[in-house]
Structures are given as structure tokens and as C-alpha cells.
Amino acid sequence: MSLKKMNYDAANIGEMEFLYGFDYLREKIKADPVFISANLLDPSTGNPLFATNRIFRIKTLIDGKPQEIRVGVLGILSEEFKDELKDKGEGKEFIISSVKKALETWVPRVREKSDLVVVLFHGSTDEAQQLAQSAKGIDIMITGHEPYIICDNPRKFGKTYMVMNGDRGRFACRLNLGLNSAKEIQSCQGLETKMDETIKLDSDMETLVQAYKKSLSLSGTLRTGVKGELVSRYAGADSCQKCHPQAYTIWKSTGHANALETLKSKNNDKREECLSCHVVGWSRSDGYVNNELTPQMAGVQCESCHGGGVDHLKASRDKKASAISKGAGPETCLPCHTKENSPAFNYSTYLPKIKHW
């Protein structure tokens, strides 16, 4: 529904499209076949599971004369996600086949029907650059997955222009192409618009977003791909209070203690991609499930930075050496305070905000 509202012509499949499982993805693509992928194959036949490409006819002016340009768009998913997607069915319900072979097979076929060939590649910037340098017949490669913004500065490798569109829809990017009479790219300029609070919300889209968040709230938090041993590792911050009352009291007044509330205020407290940095032990069998079943694991707590406290409690009772990490440093913060999630993060200035010793 939302993709149709936004009038997308083509979208590539990345690893996050498998968040709710392969069957869910397959049904969504049947309902809205905007997604393409040339190297997601059926294990039983070796054939592509979805449309590999789409061809568009665009009317434009070249040298002041009306022309029609055929643009072929091809979707590719990096093989680096094979292991990550094993629990979603990779190897059984679908196969991520060789990127190199898929490009060698499909780029010439798309080229036969197109004046310009665009590859949507989901993977790292380094891999995209290697492909742009080595693959033949690609005019433009648009790559995603890493949160860096280079749309306003296209890079050229051989005859291929490579751009990146960031992530999470936070930028709207545009490429202005200058073509010659042979319909070859002579110039390529990127423009990007930051989708921040200065952009007025579309009322129809906002209705869809809020309906989605409400549906998550009604159905309960999804727990997919739970990892880790069944033995309890986390004790919860309340268990720390008896021996560390001062640190506990200070912690309760910090943003860390109220981290889940920041998600609730925006109706994002059921979104898996947000929860991992706002609760204790998300995706683990002994961690946060939802606020009804495991409220004691809500927020960024002592164990988020110092590790599970169960062994520490046992060691204290048995008067043995402490079994917990005391020296939490910048490396502890960076998995969550990334450039995209916390662009203003500076360890030296942020540390005093949560200092509790």
C-alpha cells in the first residue's frame, strides 16, 4: 500500500525485507510486484523467484529534440547476507546466487532492450565499487545498505557511475543526466534533499504509518530469530540496587533509564530495528520480550554496558571474584551510537550525562 502511494517504479530486495520471514515477503511481492531481484533463486529449479528487471520508457529532450529513452533496472543482493539469512530460509526456500554470474547473465539481456542500464545493488560500498570497476555494460549503479550519503557526488569507475542513497528513507536523491545523440551519458550530477522536519508530512502516508504502528501494538512485539542460550544471563537493574544504591539512583534519572519511553512517544516501541538499543537483551532468549511480559528489561540498564549480571550476583553471594565488566568505554557505546542513529555523539561530552560513579 505505502509503496503504491509513493509511486515507486522499482525497488531492490535487501536483507531487511526478510525481517518477517520469506513467506511474508513473497506474499507482499505478489500483491505489489515493485520488487525485483536477479539473484534470488528457487532452490528446486535454479530460476529467479521474482522479476529480475523492469524496463521503462521515458520521454525527454536531447539536443532540443524529443526523444524516448529506454531505461532498464536490474536488482542484485550481495552474497554477504547468505549466513545472516539462513534462519529466514536461505538455502532451502531461496538461494542468493553469485552476484558476478547474475550480472554476466542479466546485464546483456537488459542491455538489448535498453539505452541505459541501472543496477540496484544492496551490499557494501566496497563491493559495489569492485563491481562497478569490473562489470561491463552498467551505466549507473545505485547501492544501499551502508548509511553514508554520497548521492550529491557520483563517482565514476570506467563507464559506470556509482551513487548511494543512504538508508531509512532519510534522503530523497536525484540524478540529472546529460545525454548525447547516441543516448550515452555525458554528464551526471547528483542532488539530495534531506527528509527532515522541514518537509511537510503527507497526510495519507502518515495515516498508513500510524496504522502500521498500531497494528504492531495490537499484535504484540514480534520476536524473530531469538538467539543465545536458554540459561538466564540478565538479572535486571533492580537487582543491582541493593549493592549499588547511589549508582542506581543516578541511573534512574538518566535518558538511558527512559530509553524505551522515547520509542513509545513516537509509537516505535514495537519495531524490532529500534528495540535492540532501547532495552536489555533484545533477540536473546533471556532478554526483553515486551513491556507486559518483561518490563524489568526495559530501557538501557546496567547490563547493557557491563554485561549480564546473573554470574556477578552469584559471585557476590559466594564471595568470589567479581564476574562482570567494569571498564565500559567508547567501544561499548558505538554499536548503538552510530552515525545514523546518533550523529552528534561524542564520547567525551555524552559520558557526563550518564556518569554514575
Domain ranges of the chain: 2-194, 231-354
137 and 156 Cβ atoms separated by less than 8 Å: no
Residues 6+ apart with CB under 8 A from 265: none
Q: Tell me the three cell numbers of residue 321.
A: 571474584
Identify the CATH number of the domain defined by range 231-354: 1.10.1130.10
Full-model pTM: 0.69
Task: Report pLDDT for 210.
Answer: 80
Cα 216 to Cα 46: distance, rounded to the nearest angstrom: 36
Assess whether the region 2-194 and the region 231-354 belong to the same CATH fold. Answer: no
pLDDT at 167: 66
Question: What radius of gyration do the chain's Cα atoms show?
Answer: 24
User: Can you list the residues of the chain whose pLDDT is less than 50?
Assistant: 221-222, 224-230
Q: Tell me the CATH number of domain 2-194, given options 3.60.21.10, 3.30.70.100, 3.40.50.300, 3.30.565.10.
A: 3.60.21.10
pLDDT of residue 230: 45
The pLDDT, as a whole number, for residue 242 is 82
Question: 3-state DSSP call for residue 302?
Answer: helix
- Cβ partners under 8 Å of residue 259, min gap 6: 277, 278, 279, 298, 299, 300
What does the alpha-carbon distance between residue 192 and residue 214 come to, in Å, rounded to a whole number? 31
Distances (CA, A) of 31 to 35, 50, 173, 206: 11, 12, 27, 21
Q: What is the pLDDT, as a whole number, of residue 109?
A: 97
**pLDDT for the residue numbered 225:** 44
Nearest to 39 by CA among 102, 114, 122: 102
pLDDT of residue 83: 92
Which of 101, 123, 124 lies closest to 48 in space, CA to CA?
Answer: 101
